[in-house]
Amino acid sequence: MAGVSQSSGQDHWSSRAAFILAAIGSAVGLGNLWRFPYEAGEGGGGAFVLVYILCIFLIGLPVLCAELMIGRRGGGSAISAVARLAKTEGHPALWGTFAALGILASFLILSFYCMIAGWVLYYVVAIIGDLFSNIAANGFGAISAGAFANDSTDEISGRLGALLARPGEVIIYQGIFVLLTVGIVARGVSGGIEKAVTILMPAFFVMLLILVVVALVQGDGAQAVNYLFKPDFAALADGVRNGTILGAALGQAFFSIGLGSALMITYGMYMNKDADVPGSATIVCSADTIVALIAGLAIFPIVFQFGLEPGGGPGLMFGTLPLAFQQMPFGAVFGAVFFLMALFAALTSSISLLEPAVAWRDGAAELPAEDKMKRRLAASIGLGAILFGLGVMHIMSQVPGDQPNFFNNWVPLDFGSFAGQTFFDFSDTLTSKFLLPIVALLTSIFAGWVVSKTASREELGFKTESRYRAWYFLIRFVCPAAIFLIVLTSLGIL
């Protein structure tokens, strides 16, 4: 079957390297800096890592290849790409609905992701500001001091809580981050996203490697390696029996790579026809996994060296780590580097999360490039305004209970998995436990059962027939079955 033709109005990556940097940037985000190491430790260490790697390459990689294939073959936007392929194969365009759900998921994730990025931006400003104040008061020798050197332990661990009690300040930081994201996306693929990631991603990797060296030299590397990589097969066996290990590992794989969010379908639209889809997808999956492991080696040696507990989620990044940076020589410098690195990671992810919605609004592939750029600018500004408004709702829902407002008392759906959840928790649960796996499930079914073997074989271009047959078996049978189990687990059926 001939591929769907695309006009010159469709923007493209300038090179395979540019696409890979952008795709890695979309995958490498705040979750890599705390979620993966924490999940690994809680799930049996090296045993969890093994399950995670299997999930990445047996499930995540085939689905990623499918999403890139759908995007490149269809073109236009994620919705139109799926609809076109479906119609070409003699199926209803209604299949495009699952891409619409993916766009909704990516936009909802971004709405609270910008809030968390606003927290990161606050810590960058706060640590750097505190360092310069210390230098001004005590001379240049104060550069060797720890982060927040004059604060008590309670003040540092409670800094995030105090910030949440000042919603106006969080709204400002979130607004700045939204403006950065919108400004990059509005400039297009080659002129905005590609240029941003070619600067941000190398800087991110340099800062990450610096922090790893510092952590291993100054911290307890042996205990960190034991925490992350020592297999606990008893915990693994218990996790397999109750479904928590597989669900956590596969859920982390989807969240990290960005599967089920229409993100990679959209990025696939901009791939050139001679680009190697399976090879590029393999590099993205490998790089994301390596970054997650390295991030653990940058964080946990410091945490363990100073006798702190490795907490999960925001508690680790915004409470435990600042305490560790306070006790480190040159902790203010390294703390600033860490949060600046986290900000770069957040920005490369946020531009990829906004792109599916903007690509949908900026028009079909057949439009002239000039018209598409005008529509892109309008779409970026309009969606950015909506994004900012949703972010304010998330921020207000996180205000402590002693400052009651509508949003920190509002429970959108007070039943099942959503019982008692405010808007922020509701959005997180809806996207991570329901929308992402459901869209990934429908993607695998679409690629394996709706798209013809002729079309997928031609578009993917595997170098050997045996590799194509392996992908085809995984995308038809293994991926749908595994993802369906996650959906059942999210619904509380298993």
Q: What is the pLDDT of residues 116-174, one digit of tens each?
A: 999 999 999 999 999 999 999 999 999 999 999 889 999 998 999 999 999 999 999 99
pLDDT score of 148? 94
Residue 3 binned pLDDT confidence (cut-offs 50, 70, 90): very low
CA distances (Å), origin 464, targets 2, 54, 60, 273: 21, 22, 20, 18
**% pLDDT > 90, the chain:** 65
- Asked, for residue 242, whether it belongs to a domain, the answer is yes
Task: List all residues 6 or more positions away from 254 whose beta carbon is below 8 Å from its beta carbon.
Answer: 60, 260, 436, 437, 440
Q: Given a cut of 60, is residue 338 above it in pLDDT?
A: yes
For residue range 74-124, list pLDDT tens digits in order. 988 899 999 999 999 999 999 999 999 999 999 999 999 999 999 999 999
pLDDT score of 306? 86
Q: Given a cut of 70, is residue 381 above it in pLDDT?
A: yes
Q: Given a cut of 70, is residue 25 above it in pLDDT?
A: yes
| 25 close to 201: Cβ distance less than 8 angstroms | yes
More confident residue, 299 or 235: 299
Range with the poorest average pLDDT among 175-189, 237-251, 293-307, 422-436: 237-251
Residue 241 binned pLDDT confidence (cut-offs 50, 70, 90): low
The pair of three-digit structure tokens given for residue 305, joined into one six-digit string: 């060296």
The mean per-residue pLDDT over the stretch 14-22 comes to 90
The mean per-residue pLDDT over the stretch 235-239 comes to 73
Q: Given a cut of 90, is residue 50 above it in pLDDT?
A: no
**% pLDDT > 70, the chain:** 94
- Asked, for residue 6, whether it belongs to a domain, the answer is no
Task: Report how many domains make up the chain.
Answer: 1
| C-alpha span between 440 and 65 (Å, rounded) | 12
More confident residue, 185 or 315: 185
- Asked, for residue 9, whether it belongs to a domain, the answer is no
- Asked, for residue 7, whether it belongs to a domain, the answer is no
| 189 close to 15: Cβ distance less than 8 angstroms | no
Torsion angle of C-alpha atoms 221, 225, 226, 232, degrees rounded to 10: 170
pLDDT score of 330? 94
- How much is the mean pLDDT over the chain? 89
Residue of 30, 32, 77, 35 whose CA lies nearest to 350? 30
The pair of three-digit structure tokens given for residue 487, joined into one six-digit string: 């959906």
| 448 close to 475: Cβ distance less than 8 angstroms | yes
| C-alpha span between 428 and 112 (Å, rounded) | 8
Task: List all residues 6 or more positions away from 48 whose beta carbon is below 8 Å from its beta carbon.
Answer: 39, 40, 41, 42, 236, 239, 245, 248, 249
| C-alpha span between 209 and 197 (Å, rounded) | 18
Write the DSSP assignment of 39-108 as a string of letters. Answer: HHHHTTTHHHHHHHHHHIIIIIHHHHHHHHHHHHHH-SSHHHHHHHHHHHTTS-GGGHHHHHHHHHHHHH
Domain carrying residue 120: 16-490
Residue 14 binned pLDDT confidence (cut-offs 50, 70, 90): confident
pLDDT score of 9? 57
pLDDT score of 1? 38
CB half-sphere exposure, 239, CA atoms < 13 A: 23
Residue 235, Cβ density class (10 Å: 0-12 exposed, 13-18 middle, ≥19 buried): middle
- Asked, for residue 266, whether it belongs to a domain, the answer is yes
- Asked, for residue 5, whether it belongs to a domain, the answer is no
- Asked, for residue 1, whether it belongs to a domain, the answer is no
| C-alpha span between 266 and 439 (Å, rounded) | 14
For residue range 266-295, list pLDDT tens digits in order. 999 999 888 899 999 999 999 989 998 898
pLDDT score of 8? 47
Residue 365 binned pLDDT confidence (cut-offs 50, 70, 90): low
The pair of three-digit structure tokens given for residue 370, joined into one six-digit string: 């000039």
Range with the poorest average pLDDT among 239-253, 370-384, 400-414, 441-455: 239-253
Task: List all residues 6 or more positions away from 330 whose beta carbon is below 8 Å from its beta carbon.
Answer: 143, 144, 145
More confident residue, 58 or 11: 58
| C-alpha span between 450 and 88 (Å, rounded) | 10
What's the CATH number where 32 sits? 1.20.1740.10
The mean per-residue pLDDT over the stretch 438-452 comes to 96
- Asked, for residue 265, whether it belongs to a domain, the answer is yes
